[in-house]
Structure 1
């Protein structure tokens, strides 16, 4: 699909499925790629964003105009490689400058065969996606640009994100264990739906021996380590297709094991509780999304506001006010997004389980929501007692 040849001066074009196109220069590998065009509003953290498994099969548009100035390092990646299908920037850094930089973003894109485009008006592209919604896109560079008459049809023939079952493409092939840091306090099973690399290590620093299992794990395999808690990870795709891991969630709820779900996992908890999920018009991506928590009185007025890191295009539809009766007891919405009132968290009142839509491990983004991991450990301590 791509070549690794340097294409800094090669012509490139980004074509959206509604027919709009943007011309620029090749950035990264030369060739072609297809995916869902989305925009990420973070001013920093492009390495974490591009390596996040939740970006699988997405063409990521960076809204910050200057990208690549801190290069790429060997510490901040959220997986073993770049997961995004394509990268769109306006003004790439000519030379990275950071004491941890090992190479440039352009070098990593080329080495991993990821096609990108630079030199386009990303502000205009972002406005277009905000107004018209995320849509399929293709990036073409080098010789592929000459076939312009056929490019739109090729973009429209690419698979859409709605209905996409991508969990099997990003989950670990076999289970592995991350040892607890210091004294072991808990055993936690992580169901890998596309887990970010920093998450198991965040749990390990809390004293958890972390058993990471593939999304295809059976209920018996989840129960085998005798976990004190189960963590349901982030991931890509349409939650409406993830029937097996949703069934696993129901098994965990029935056993009464403390459960903490984030991102895609939050959406699957919503499904397990009987709530529908839906695709958002343009989703939430970036490390600067405002989320409000329900306060102690059960109302939103005066609730704490956190700035959070997001990477999702689907949401749970649940009543924002009041309590809902489900097969697993009473449930309330615990967090909402202040930009569009999307459900950002669920709290079970009769079982030890809760979820948030955003990423509390701060990779990339602020560390304010890190207290959610402490809440998870408190649930495990209470159940053990």
Structure 2
């Protein structure tokens, strides 16, 4: 990829010019959308064909500039029901094209204006296909989007002085500061008429490393009463809630840097009959608490079409993570790997052999994404039912 690659089309006569600068010196030019300004972060890509608002509001994307491989954003506008958090968590958005008109009966606003209102910068008109190939071959890399007149030289200096995602604990930036309860069931994307709901909901404590709203909705839909606690909660604070199960949420950054969360899970694992369920970062923190090691993937898994499975069973999954657990680092006498990512054979799910504990690297709440893996919520509930 050329260090001065040109966009497919020059900015229009009334458009504000924007730059995308990568730490390796790559410079792309395009048009600004969203807020006017400069944002520095890790440049990654998402392969989903839908769900751009869910992606942008997912706390796991904190600190990142997200490239969308789908060629046009904004077609369906934005609406409050599709948000995974009260506001966007992406630091910037990179798009091939932006739809001039939002066309959906569900639309409550325009993507461009919504991003501008939340201070999120964007660049459109760049060759996203070439950019994604560059990231796929060279790996995720720090970069900057700028539309405020900052020079390419100044942007490159800022990008090269920015910290790597490896070693960053970002959970404190996205976790709740105060405990709260959640009782809202899921929206129209799932059938909420689940069978065999308990007469008395299961008491679940969810540790918020950057939790998505859809996860809370699925827990409630499966018969849980959820209390959400901050990422830095103590073991005593968790047990004080008398949970029948503990959920470990998704979140941004390097799981190995979340030392408090790892220590908490080590303590929870000492409660031999307490069901634990982790998703994404929660899964990684569980693996680290069991003595495993994590590593940074070259460009991560971000999209709605990742096959994961075990012999005789495959699930098409939604994923968003840049780190994984080393399979060989897990204690074989205690842990069984139940699913692998079938693209690169990384660990996709694990369970403990003698305790009601399991974790999945992917997102069974599927927001956005396929519903193949929703059964993991039922599995968690079944473990609590057996304990009750």
TM-score using structure 2 length: 0.91
Offset of 1:184 from its aligned partner?
3.0
Offset of 1:82 from its aligned partner?
0.5
In structure 2, the residue matched to 1:41 is: 47
SS of structure 1 residue aligned to 2:306:
strand
In structure 1, the residue matched to 2:192 is: none
> Does 2:59 align with 1:53?
yes
Please point out which of 189, 206, 231 is paired with 2:247. Answer: 231
In structure 1, the residue matched to 2:170 is: 166
In structure 2, the residue matched to 1:214 is: 230
| RMSD after superposition | 1.6
SS of structure 2 residue aligned to 1:142:
coil
Please point out which of 332, 351, 356 is paired with 1:324. Answer: 332
Preserved CA contact (<8 Å) 1:287 1:308: yes
Offset of 1:150 from its aligned partner?
2.3
Distance 1:50 1:332 in 2: 34
In the TM superposition, 1:137-176 aligns within 5 A as 137-144=143-150, 147-176=151-180
In the TM superposition, 1:327-366 aligns within 5 A as 330-366=334-370
Deviations, residues 125-181 of structure 1 (Å, cap 9, x unaligned): 00000000001010011322xx22222111111121011111110000100012386
Offset of 1:8 from its aligned partner?
7.2
In structure 1, the residue matched to 2:89 is: 83
Q: Which runs of 5+ in 1 are unaligned?
A: 1-6, 295-299
SS of structure 2 residue aligned to 1:368:
coil
Offset of 1:21 from its aligned partner?
1.3
Q: Which runs of 5+ in 2 are unaligned?
A: 1-12, 186-196
Preserved CA contact (<8 Å) 2:294 2:324: yes
SS of structure 2 residue aligned to 1:75:
helix
Relative to structure 1, the CA distance from residue 214 to residue 323 in structure 2 (aligned partners, 3 Å threshold; closer, same or farther) is closer
TM-score using structure 1 length: 0.92
Preserved CA contact (<8 Å) 2:244 2:384: yes
Preserved CA contact (<8 Å) 1:8 1:28: no
Preserved CA contact (<8 Å) 2:165 2:254: yes
SS of structure 2 residue aligned to 1:30:
coil
Preserved CA contact (<8 Å) 1:180 1:210: no
